[in-house]
Every structure is written in C-alpha cells, then in structure tokens.
C-alpha cells in the first residue's frame, strides 16, 4: 500500500482495545498498535486486508489475538492481515463460488438451435453502427458466446463498457433459459441501487418487445420486476444481517445482478450465501468502473481470477464518437490524448468548461426552472431535471458536492427561488439512507414541488413502474440536495448531459477509474471543469485495493 492512511477515532479505539489485550510487552505493543491502526484505516479506505512483512508477521504471531484461521479478532494469512469478519467474508465467498463452478451442467441438446434463434448469424445492423475499433471483433458474436457460457455454467460474469449490450444479452439469455426449461424457472433480477434497478427494469420491458416470437407462457416467465439487493435479501431493522441467508436461501433458480462493480465484499458474500446451492448466478457489470464504496473490488478480482467464467462484450452498439474516445483514453491512462480530445473544436460533445462551474450549472438548469415555473407536473419536471447532471469528484470543498450545491442555491435566490428555506419549490433531493418501510432507498432522486390544491410541499419520486408518488418532506429518511452529486453516487445512472467537476488541486481520491466512471454516465455530451495538471494526474493514477480474493480463488482451482 502506497497511500498515506488517515486515522479516525474508530481506528484509534480499535487499536487501543486490541493492544491492551495483546499479551505483548510494552515495546511490542507500540508496533502492534501501529499495525492495527493501519489495518483499520485500510479497511475504511476500501481495502480488505493489510500486507505485512516478515518482521510484522513474527510480532503478530506472538499475540493470542492473531491466528491463521481460528475465531480470533485478527487473521494472518499468507502475509495478509485481516479483521476476522472480512476474512470470513472473503473465505466464504471463495468457497461458495468454487462449489458453483464445480457443478457440472450438461450441455442442453437444444442449445445450438436456440442460440441461433436468439443470436442469428446474419443479425441486422444495429441503429448505431459499431465503431472502427470494433472491426477486429466483428467475426465473433460475443453476445452469443456469453449466452452459450451462461447456459452451461452455474456462475457467469458478463462484462463490458457502456453500449456493449449487456442488458440486451441477458434478456435473450433469460428467454433462452426459460425455453430450455419450458418456462418453469424462477428468475430474480436485482441491482445495488434503486436507480440501477429502475434502469434495468425499463430496459428489460422495452427489450421484451423485440425478442423473437415467444408464446404467452414464455413471455410471462421472463420477469420485468427488478429489486434492489437489500430488498431482495430482506433487511432487518438496525442490523447488518438479512432475512435470507444460507439457512433460509432465496427461492429463485436464476439470479441476475446488474452493476456488479458496485457490490462490496460484505454484500457479495452475503448475497452468494443466500443463494440456493443449485441456483445459477449471473453478474453484469463494467470491471473498469469504480470499485464499491465499501471494502473490496470484487467484480474486478473475480474477472481477473476466473477467465473461464468471464465473458467480455467487446463490440459497442450505441456508445461511440468523442465520448467513447475520451473514456478509452482515460481507461488506457493516456492523459495527453484525453486532453486533446477535450480541446478539439471540431466536436462539441466532449469539452472543457471555461470559467465558473457554478455559472455553468445555473445556465444548464434553467430549462428545469422554467418547466416548474409554469407547471407542477412531477413527471415532466423529473424528465427535464434529468437531462443535465453535475458530478463532483469530492464531497467537500468549493468544488465538491456541498460547495457546488450551496453556491448554486445562493445564485438562484436572484431568480426569486426561495432556496433560503429548507424546502422550496424545485429543490431536488437524493435519499442517502434506505427506508424499506417507506419504499425509498439510497440513491433515489425526488423533486420537491408545491401543490397548490393542498397548499403544501410534497416530494415526488418515480417508482419502478414509471408512476410518480408523493411523500411529505418530514417523512423522508436522510437526504441531501442534488444539483450536484458525487461520482460514486452516479453509478448505475445515465444522463444525456453530464458536467464533471474536479478540484483545483490534486487529491489522492482522484483516479482514472473515478473519471472513467463519470465520463461513461453521459449519453450525449460530457463537459469537464478541470485544470490540465489535475486532469492528467487523475488519468495517470490507478487504485489498487488490497485483497486476497484473487490469490484464494486461483488456489481453489489448483
């Protein structure tokens, strides 16, 4: 680990608590405490474990608090130190996936026929032709290859960048599987956030209309409802555990999870635990995106260690032009090429924002404020608001989410918008804590609109079925204003026009993965407010999360 670790009060408390019980002498306790401090801070920073050298391993092995695999607070394994809980998460995940991979599934007799039905060799050209970079991949139908793998494996991962057809592919896979099993499979669909679940649900509903002719039974057997992972597993109030677990597994035969790069180690371990041993698991995601907010880089680690279970879709069907070129340059750590794309006056799709980013925000949210000035239709308001979104790399600071939202609200007062009030007509909010009882989940976006008939403010949210529902402001769980949101919060969402704001000075939180994720949220236009030096350092920095997942997974198949 190369980055400097900052220690929180929790880190200090954990280190002190364990050091006092370490049974080491005073000199050893000083070094022991430092190691535990680093471990706790590393875990908070997204690492699953802490690499320790030979001298540190010798010291740790002298304490009864440390073992190789026993029920002790600390676990030392192959030069990696874990908090016991995270070692358990990692070990259970490896064991569970290993068992699924080792299940031998016979190749269905009808498979080749159905593959040709859903992925015909002479497929018509898509609306958006593939880019020149895809030409070399034209000879392989990667979507058909993915379907073939999923039909013959109990555990599969389908990866690829935006526009490579992950959702289209999985829809055809579900139809194929149902046809192979005469429509009798129980299929569950899930995503990490409410927004990602809604997007997948909408895509599946639209896509079903374009499937090859299916009888009514098979059509009905392909689900359209997508749940968040927390709703699927069944949250327990004030607990980190779920109602579904190994002793009470989910009842589905097939589980498909979208945006899998967002899933942290703990949640992925609990998810796989809760899946019946005979059920299939299909993960969808872009392994080049940001890893989860919490510990681990699970999708990336699994893809790296399980190539036979990973199918990467390499052909782009809708994501092209300057946005794709910019995303590719960032992903390949080519900062100068990426900056040149932004400076190219011949295109107006990917640009550098000159001047004050707050003024730019105000200009591009004018369509929304004009909309709600003349109409309080929540559906129309949300549609207009969603055309433009600001994504900030940081939460705090002048160019962070909090600073940008506050600065814009101050400017809006000149337009006679009462932003000095907590709740005002037009305030956009994002839910930041799950409230299953209310049906609101982390990442859900709502708009506060004045209801003239009731003479009150109400906050409107779009439901999974596209209908709008209103909630009184006082009933909302934790939330925040969302003219600007963090790039992390934007995962699982797409917007026609995105502005990305980087800080004025380099920050260790900036990385190429962060910038790539932000760029690929844009469907039609991306603008970046950044200084050249900060932009280039961001592109060059890569995040490497410490984990034993790859090593353990490879060992499991030796």
Coil vs helix vs strand at 344: coil
Coil vs helix vs strand at 116: helix
Tell me whether residue 401 is in a domain.
yes
pTM of the model: 0.85
Tell me whether residue 4 is in a domain.
no
Is the per-residue pLDDT at 546 higher than 50? yes
Q: Do 305 and 157 share a structural domain?
A: yes
Q: Do 357 and 455 share a structural domain?
A: yes
pLDDT at 138: 55
pLDDT at 272: 97
Summary mean pLDDT of the chain: 90
Q: In 3D, which of 371, 467, 388, 474 has the Cα closest to residue 425?
A: 371
Tell me whether residue 132 is in a domain.
no
pLDDT at 4: 55
Q: Do 314 and 387 share a structural domain?
A: no
Tell me whether residue 351 is in a domain.
yes
Distance between CA atoms of residues 498 and 528, nearest Å: 8
pLDDT at 557: 86
Q: Do 351 and 234 share a structural domain?
A: no
Number of domains in the chain: 3
Tell me whether residue 91 is in a domain.
no
Q: Do 274 and 413 share a structural domain?
A: no
Question: Which of 97-101, 118-122, 473-477, 551-555 is least confident?
Answer: 118-122
> Which of 285, 318, 351 is the C-terminal boundary of a domain?
318
Q: Do 310 and 293 share a structural domain?
A: yes
Alpha helices in 45-83 (DSSP H): 54-61
Helix (H) / strand (E) containing 479:
strand 479-481
Considering 193-207, 235-249, 291-305, 360-374, the range whose residues carry the highest mean pLDDT is 360-374
What confidence category does residue 301 fall into, taking pLDDT thresholds of 50, 70 and 90?
very high
> Which of 301, 318, 335 is the C-terminal boundary of a domain?
318
Q: Do 311 and 361 share a structural domain?
A: no
| Mean pLDDT (whole number) for 411-430 | 93
What confidence category does residue 558 fall into, taking pLDDT thresholds of 50, 70 and 90?
confident
Tell me whether residue 2 is in a domain.
no
Q: Do 420 and 393 share a structural domain?
A: yes
| Mean pLDDT (whole number) for 405-409 | 97
Tell me whether residue 402 is in a domain.
yes
CA angle 527, 498, 227 (to 5 degrees): 155
- For the beta carbon of residue 532, count every other beta carbon within 10 angstroms: 13
Tell me whether residue 487 is in a domain.
yes
Helix (H) / strand (E) containing 392:
strand 388-392
Quote the strand ranges of 105-239, DSSP E.
155-159, 187-191, 227-228
- Strand-pair partners of 155: 281
Q: Do 339 and 305 share a structural domain?
A: no
pLDDT at 129: 40
Coil vs helix vs strand at 68: coil
Distance between CA atoms of residues 548 and 77, nearest Å: 9
pLDDT digits (tens, 9 = 90+) for 113-165: 999 999 998 654 443 344 444 444 457 889 999 999 999 999 999 998 887 88
* Beta pairing class for 484-486 and 445-451: unpaired
Distance between CA atoms of residues 324 and 330, nearest Å: 10
* Beta pairing class for 80-83 and 50-51: antiparallel
Assign residue 278 the CATH number of its domain. 3.40.50.300
Please report, rounded to a whole number, the percentage of residues in the chain having pLDDT higher than 70: 96
Q: Do 260 and 197 share a structural domain?
A: yes
Q: Do 329 and 269 share a structural domain?
A: no
| Mean pLDDT (whole number) for 450-468 | 89
pLDDT at 199: 84
pLDDT digits (tens, 9 = 90+) for 500-535: 999 999 998 999 999 999 999 999 999 999 999 999
Coil vs helix vs strand at 118: helix
| Mean pLDDT (whole number) for 431-441 | 84
Q: Do 352 and 489 share a structural domain?
A: yes
Contact 441/194 with Cβ under 8 angstroms? Answer: yes
Structural domain span for residue 21:
9-82
Helix (H) / strand (E) containing 86:
helix 84-102
Name the phi and psi angles at 189, rounded to 5: -125, 140
Q: Measuring CA to CA, how many Å separate 111 from each of 79, 115, 490?
A: 46, 6, 38
């Amino acid at each position: 680990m190369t980055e400097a670790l900052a220690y929180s009060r929790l880190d200090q408390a954990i280190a002190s608590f364990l050091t006092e019980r370490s049974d080491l002498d005073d000199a050893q306790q000083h070094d022991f405490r430092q190691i535990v401090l680093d471990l706790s801070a590393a875990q908070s920073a997204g690492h699953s474990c802490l690499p320790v050298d030979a001298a540190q391993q010798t010291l740790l092995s002298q304490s009864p608090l440390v073992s190789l695999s026993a029920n002790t607070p600390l676990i030392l394994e192959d030069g990696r130190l874990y908090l016991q809980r995270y070692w358990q998460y990692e070990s259970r995940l490896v064991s569970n996936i290993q068992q699924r991979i080792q299940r031998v599934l016979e190749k269905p007799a009808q498979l080749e026929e159905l593959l040709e039905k859903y992925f015909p060799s002479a497929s018509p050209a898509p609306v958006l032709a593939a880019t020149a970079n895809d030409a070399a991949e034209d000879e392989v139908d990667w979507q058909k290859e993915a379907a073939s793998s999923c039909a013959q494996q109990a555990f599969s991962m389908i990866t690829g960048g935006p526009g490579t057809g992950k959702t289209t592919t999985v829809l055809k896979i579900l139809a194929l599987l149902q046809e192979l099993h005469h429509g009798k499979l129980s299929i569950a669909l899930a995503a990490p956030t409410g927004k990602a679940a809604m997007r997948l649900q909408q895509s599946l509903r639209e896509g079903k209309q374009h499937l090859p002719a299916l009888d009514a039974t098979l059509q009905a057997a392909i689900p359209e409802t997508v749940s968040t992972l927390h709703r699927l597993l069944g949250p327990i109030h004030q607990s980190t555990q779920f109602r579904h677990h190994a002793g009470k597994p989910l009842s589905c035969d097939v589980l498909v999870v979208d945006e899998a790069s967002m899933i942290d180690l703990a949640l992925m371990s609990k998810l796989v635990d809760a899946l019946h041993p005979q059920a299939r698991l299909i993960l969808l995601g872009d392994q080049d995106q940001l890893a989860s907010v919490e510990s681990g880089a699970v999708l990336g680690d699994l893809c790296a260690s399980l190539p036979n279970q990973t199918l990467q879709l390499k052909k782009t069907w809708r994501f092209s032009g300057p946005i794709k070129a910019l995303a590719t340059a960032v992903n390949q750590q080519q900062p100068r090429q990426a900056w040149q794309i932004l400076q190219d006056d011949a295109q107006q799709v990917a640009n550098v924002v000159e001047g004050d980013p707050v003024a730019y925000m105000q200009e591009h949210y004018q369509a929304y404020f004009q909309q709600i000035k003349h109409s309080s239709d929540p559906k129309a308001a949300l549609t207009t608001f969603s055309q433009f979104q600001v994504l900030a790399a940081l939460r705090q600071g002048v160019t962070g989410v909090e600073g940008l939202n506050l600065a814009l609200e101050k400017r809006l007062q000149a337009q006679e918008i009462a932003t000095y009030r907590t709740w005002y007509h037009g305030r956009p909010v994002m839910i930041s804590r799950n409230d299953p009882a209310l049906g609101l989940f982390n990442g859900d976006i709502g708009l506060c609109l004045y209801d003239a008939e009731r003479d009150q403010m109400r906050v409107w949210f779009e439901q999974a079925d596209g209908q709008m529902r209103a909630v009184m402001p006082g009933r909302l769980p934790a939330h925040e204003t969302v003219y600007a949101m963090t790039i992390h919060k934007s995962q699982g969402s797409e917007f026609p026009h995105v502005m990305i704001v980087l800080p004025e000075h380099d920050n260790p939180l900036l990385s190429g993965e962060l910038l790539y994720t932000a760029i690929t949220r844009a469907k039609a236009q991306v603008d970046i407010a950044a200084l050249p030096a900060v932009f280039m350092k961001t592109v060059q920095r890569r995040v490497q999360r410490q984990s034993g997942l790859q090593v353990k997974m490879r060992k499991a198949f030796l």
